[in-house]
Amino acid sequence: MKRIKLAEGGGGEETWRLIKALFLKYFDNPHLSSLEDSALLEVPSKLAFTTDAFTVKPLFFPGGDIGKLAVAGTLNDLAVMGARPLYLSISFIIEEGFPYEDLEKIVESMAKTIREYNVQVVAGDTKVVPSGQVDGLFICTSGIGKVIYDGLSCRNIREGDAIIVSGTVGDHGACILAQREGFYGELESDCAVLWNLVEKLLSSGVEVHAMRDPTRGGLSAVLHEWANSSGVSFLIEEEAIPIKEEVKGLCEFLGLEPYHFACEGRFVLAVKPEDAEKTLDILRSDPLGSSANLIGYAIKPQGYPKVILKTPYGTHRLLEPPAGELLPRIC
């Protein structure tokens, strides 16, 4: 089996061969193939810029792999700020001895994921570290996007705003947990690029105040951050939150809160209440948003801003913010 060698990260001949044989094969474009120290880009005047490191374990899971996740995660961070993704940079940190075939699968998956969005990988870096000094493969991606919708912010949520999720929550977290614990079943990550759906929505005339993709910390983290940033509380109908039966089952079995589980292909929206129906129609017309639902509203806080769940029994309970170890290496 062909394995990655230390020399392929040394900056010498082997590194150049790896770049040409693998990275340029899948990501070829004039910016990248020029092999300069920086890509020179003609850009619009208002940009979004974001970065993420990916350390997910296992590297391959039902519904995706670290490559697809790294691309989707960064493109989605641009999308939820109203920015059309344009350019990506990718840094690979690879353990010596990593199977070349797996690296190629991951690179191919990244290339396939960006293809339909007209996104170019314009900068990259490859480091190889000695065996045992990193677990397999980590990837860092940074993204640049063109802002096409202004004013989205976690500070912009107003009392009365309708809170909508674009699909079932917790799928990615449950899938990774199941893989690690050996509970093999129907669980699949929701890992996906949201841009096309986001663009459809933002160009429809609906008034969106905030969007966020609920990754680490899940729906709960998003709502708590929004509550703190906008100074509102949320009253959320538990029964309205779409959750797959398998995810619910795993959470009940392990005594975990599905609202703390990461999604990687969903977004949460705060929209003007009058636009909630139209938003749902648009989301549900797309396969990525088919299980979208209105889950509650922003309300005037009594005391400090909080997230209140209305249970199926009609009682209220406070949703705790995520804390503790949750699930290391979830993304």
Q: Which of 249, 259, 260 is closest to 178 using CA atoms?
A: 249
Of the two residues 145 and 265, which places its CB atom closer to its own copies in the complex? 145
Tell me how far, at minimum, the Cβ of 186 lies from its own copies, in Å: 25
CB of 208 to its own copies, least distance (A): 14
Q: Which residue number, 16 or 186, has a Cβ lying nearer to its own copies?
A: 16
d(C-alpha 266, C-alpha 73), whole Å: 11
Smallest distance from the beta carbon of 116 to its own copies, in angstroms? 21
Q: Which is nearer to its own copies, 53 or 318 (CB)?
A: 53
Based on CB atoms, which residue is closest to its own copies, 111 or 240?
Answer: 111
CB of 47 to its own copies, least distance (A): 5
Closer residue to its own copies (CB): 187 or 263: 263
What residues does 88 pair with on adjacent strands?
A: 121, 143
* 76 CA to centre of own chain: 5
Q: Which of the 8 DSSP states describes residue 321? A: P
Report long-range pairs for 243-249 (Cβ below 8 Å, ≥24 apart): 243/168, 243/169, 243/170, 244/168, 244/170, 244/171, 244/174, 244/187, 246/174, 246/185, 246/186, 246/187, 247/168, 247/169, 247/170, 247/171, 247/174, 247/187
Q: Return all residues near 260 (Cβ < 8 A) that are at least 6 apart.
A: 173, 217, 218, 219, 220, 221, 322, 326
Give the residues across from 162 on adjacent strands: 271, 297
Instruction: In angstroms, give the least distance from the CB of 18 to its own copies.
Output: 13
Q: Which is nearer to its own copies, 277 or 323 (CB)?
A: 323
- Smallest gap from residue 134 Cβ to its own copies (A): 5
